[in-house]
Amino acid sequence: MLTAETLRKIDELTGIDPRALPDSVLGSKQPLVLRGIAADWPLVRAGRESPRAACDYLLRFYRQATVGVFLGPPEIEGRFFYDEDLSGLNFKPALIKLDTVLEEIVRHADAVRPPALYVGSTSIDTALPDFRRANDLGFGQRDPLASIWISNRSRIAAHHDLPDNLACVAVGRRRFTLFPPDQLENLYIGPIDFTPAGQPISLVDFRKPDFARFPKFAAALAQARVAELGPGDAIFIPSLWWHHIESLEGMNVLVNYWWRDTPDYMDSPVNALLHAIMTVRDLPEEQRRTMAQMFQHYVFAPGEQTAAHIPEGARRVLGPLDAARVRELRAYLLKRLNR
């Protein structure tokens, strides 16, 4: 079903300077694959040699850091997910010394049914200081969060993130399956306040989709885009694009960069969404329609008219926001919520 032959490929760009990634990539509204952009990284070269060599290279930067690890039994075949009735998870999170995890992965690298081991989004500068001196990309004025992901074979269910994302496969191979943000409904996204790793995920098992239970997933697949990346290849995933990621080798390492082009004080819209679920969703239909109109007016389709009738100095949240104004608004909302 999900073969590279039947699904649309992600557009590829070549000839990009890794020391100065251009806005045509970092500001793209569409996903892009950048082949070989990190081919010169020492980690990529070590990984081409062997898992052992990749492990040894990483250990050069090891300073006793403890990292969060997902541990799953061989039966889950690397699909970190919920348990049968979604009352729990099919893996256990643990805190383990990074060198121990690396050695375990190398030890099982050729095993047929290894336990599933996954170190997700770990800050590079914390866990492997100085690694980026020789293994990095140029983001110019942007100041992204750089993270490392280390695992054996795994399948991470489709989810999305608020920041834009540039992800480089350094060791192993990875298959990316992306969906545009508007595929929310067709992906059968699960619980939003109980999630395996912070973000809500698709309940569809991509390896064997249950179309009887998830019929609209066929429509999602029609919009899917795929790419298989090897060592040194990178992918740009725009904000809020759904992504399903498979790691295909006995040892896989990914380095990714996340950044937002909006100020930090804007925070995540998820809390507003949760609060709206609580305060708006279950209103009588007519009241809910009125609130939809108010959100349209003030949030989703504001125009010059929205606050033009209020003197500039008195617009408060209806005027432009900045860090100071948001601090005031937070204090105001705290008082209102804290009754």
Looking only at residues 148 through 167 of this chain, which bind another protein when binding is defined by CB under 8 A? none
Using the Cα atoms of residue 167, residue 172, residue 173 and residue 177 in order, give the sign of their dihedral.
negative
Residue 299 sits in the site that holds another protein (CB under 8 A):
yes
Which residues in 272-291 contact another protein (CB under 8 A)? 272-284, 286-291
220 near 183, Cβ under 8 Å? yes
As a whole number of angstroms, the distance between CA 246 and CA 155 comes to 4
Taking the least distance from each CB to another protein, the nearer of 29 and 133 is: 29
Q: Is the Cβ of residue 139 or residue 295 nearer to another protein in the bound state?
A: 295
Q: Is residue 298 near another protein by the rule CB under 8 A?
A: yes
| 219 counts as binding another protein under rule CB under 8 A | no
Question: How many residues bind to another protein according to rule CB under 8 A?
Answer: 79
Nearest to 149 by CA among 168, 177, 130: 168
Minimal distance, residue 85 CB to another protein, in Å = 5
Give min distance, CB of 147 to another protein, in A.
21
Report the site for another protein in 107-146 (rule: CB under 8 A): none
Q: Which of 59, 94, 219, 266 binds another protein (CB under 8 A)?
A: 266
Any contact of residue 316 with another protein (CB under 8 A)?
Answer: yes
Site map 225..254 versus another protein, x via CB under 8 A: --------------xx--------------
If binding is defined by CB under 8 A, does position 323 make contact with another protein?
no
Residue 231, token pair as written in the block: 């060592």
Residue 269 is a binding residue for another protein (CB under 8 A): yes
Residue 218 touching another protein (CB under 8 A): no
Restricted to residues 184-203, the positions that interact with another protein (CB under 8 A) are 184-185, 188, 190-194, 203
**Closest separation in Å from C-beta 157 to another protein:** 13
Nearest to another protein of 74, 302 (CB atom): 302
Sheet of strand 66-72: strand arrangement: 12-13, 32-34, 234-237, 164-171, 252-259, 145-151, 116-123, 66-72, 92-97
CA-to-CA distance for 139 and 141, rounded, in angstroms?
A: 6
Sole window of 42-50, 84-92, 109-117, 170-178 interacting with another protein (rule: CB under 8 A): 84-92
Per CB under 8 A, 264 contacts another protein: no
Instruction: Verify binding: residue 261, another protein, rule CB under 8 A.
Output: yes
Under the binding rule (CB under 8 A), the answer on residue 262 touching another protein is yes
Considering only residues 18 to 77 of the shown chain, the ones binding another protein according to CB under 8 A are 29
